[in-house]
Amino acid sequence: MRARSQKEMAAAAAESSRRAEEKASKAAEARIKARERFCKRKPQVCADQEKLANLQKMHTPEKLPGVMVPAMAYGIQTDEAQDQALMMLSMVEPTGIMSYVDVQDAYINMVNDRTAASAGWLIVAILSAIPGLGKTMAPIKAAKLARIKKAIARAEKIARRSKKTKAFPSVQIERAIPAARAEIAELQEYTDIFQQHMVDNIPIDKVTALRIIEKFPSLKVTNKAVYRGMRVDANFIKKNFGDDVFRKCCGGDPGTYVLEINTTLKPRSKSGTSSWSLDPGEGDLWAKGYVRDPQDKPYEILYMGGGKNSKGLNITKAAKDMGHPMASQDFAEVSMIGPVGVKKVVIVNNAPKGGTRPRSIYAVEKQAKQKHRVPGAKAIDLPAGFYPAGSRKEILKLIGVPTSLKESIVKKQLIRVRIA
């Protein structure tokens, strides 16, 4: 076997080095892309991590004015108290606690002072900031609550073990723990309430909803248009709107009836709250019904309410903040508190002429293919009146949707001209 020359060995080594660099470059690029995807999903976590990293860069020992640190000392581990304080900070930080001024000041002081006492005061600042978490953010995920509970337990152990440490604020840590634990217990209670509502459909009562809004102001919905849909029968329309409205909307041919009205819709349950949506499309889905047979209740009703002096609890936002799968099912649900003012009602009549109920669901489907009704979500924007069923082209034209590719292109061009 021929031995390789020095030139060949050098070339092979260079090729191996090139491959290693290329592999490392690809790995780094993959990490950057993974980080970008993560930050796109969780921007707040990334922002908090970046803030912590910037503080660490700003206050490293060699950059501190008037502090002389030997070269060998830089980069070594801090004592146990500082390690524990930083560990606590990392456990609680996903909540955005580094944005608190007291926590930032305590962290900077620990980096400057580099003593067990300064680390203890950072722990005090972290514990003191926990009771204010609800004012700055929405409900916390169960995993975050568990991490914060562990951080509080860690602080309690540190306080017990460090009582004889000179200048260490063990007493202050122990005094701050009860309030922090009470806050986490309350946050856990609200998380359980949302869980029961989302999974078991247990209504959130009026008093609890008001408490949650006070605790989490970001979940408050006020002065917004909200929509509620349901599937009903003839008796419901006659009872709530009168025989005259029933004759206009449902006494003749199928169609859509838009009624401008000034009334209130009271919660049907004893909870004092009712489910609405910020999206008319979701309200329209509720009106169409998920499982009810159209033979039973052939009329769709969509209420438009809310506005001035209305108040509600944003259920879907809470679900998103908690990472709950319900957020993708009911995409804009709001639990409205008390009676809700109603400005407009849309009634979609799916029954044949005269209100006679068809023999089967297939008759309804066959009838729907022949004549189209204006959907409730689109009829909300139309003036009051009755809009009879028509061809697909007629309905699209009525609600302002392009009926052909050519018309669509023309409308887009007009929009561009207006913007320009």
Note whether 240 and 353 are same-domain residues: yes
Note whether 338 and 235 are same-domain residues: yes
Note whether 153 and 34 are same-domain residues: no
Distance CA 413, CA 407 (A): 10
In a domain? residue 188: yes
Radius of gyration of the chain from its Cα atoms, rounded to whole angstroms:
32
In a domain? residue 261: yes
In a domain? residue 420: no
How, if at all, do strands 340-349 and 225-232 pair?
Answer: unpaired
Note whether 35 and 172 are same-domain residues: no
Domain boundary among 169, 198, 227: 198
Note whether 150 and 91 are same-domain residues: yes
Note whether 385 and 245 are same-domain residues: yes
Number of folded domains that form the chain: 3
Lowest mean pLDDT of 47-51, 352-356, 387-391, 395-399, name the range. Answer: 352-356
pLDDT tens by residue, 197-253:
877 778 888 998 898 888 888 888 898 899 999 888 889 999 988 888 888 888 777
Note whether 125 and 36 are same-domain residues: no
Q: Using the 8-state DSSP alphabet, how is residue 374 labeled? A: P
Residue 29: domain span: 6-41
Q: What is the pTM of this model?
A: 0.64
pLDDT tens by residue, 212-226:
888 888 888 898 899
Note whether 22 and 145 are same-domain residues: no
211 exposed, middle or buried (CB, 10 Å; 0-12, 13-18, 19+)? middle
pLDDT tens by residue, 371-418:
677 777 788 888 888 888 776 666 777 666 665 544 454 444 443 433
- CB proximity list for 376: less than 8 A, separation 6 or greater: 229, 256, 280, 283, 284, 287, 300, 301, 302, 346, 348
What pLDDT score does 191 carry? 83
Note whether 320 and 289 are same-domain residues: yes
Note whether 78 and 193 are same-domain residues: yes
In a domain? residue 96: yes
In a domain? residue 239: yes
Note whether 223 and 359 are same-domain residues: yes
Note whether 106 and 253 are same-domain residues: no
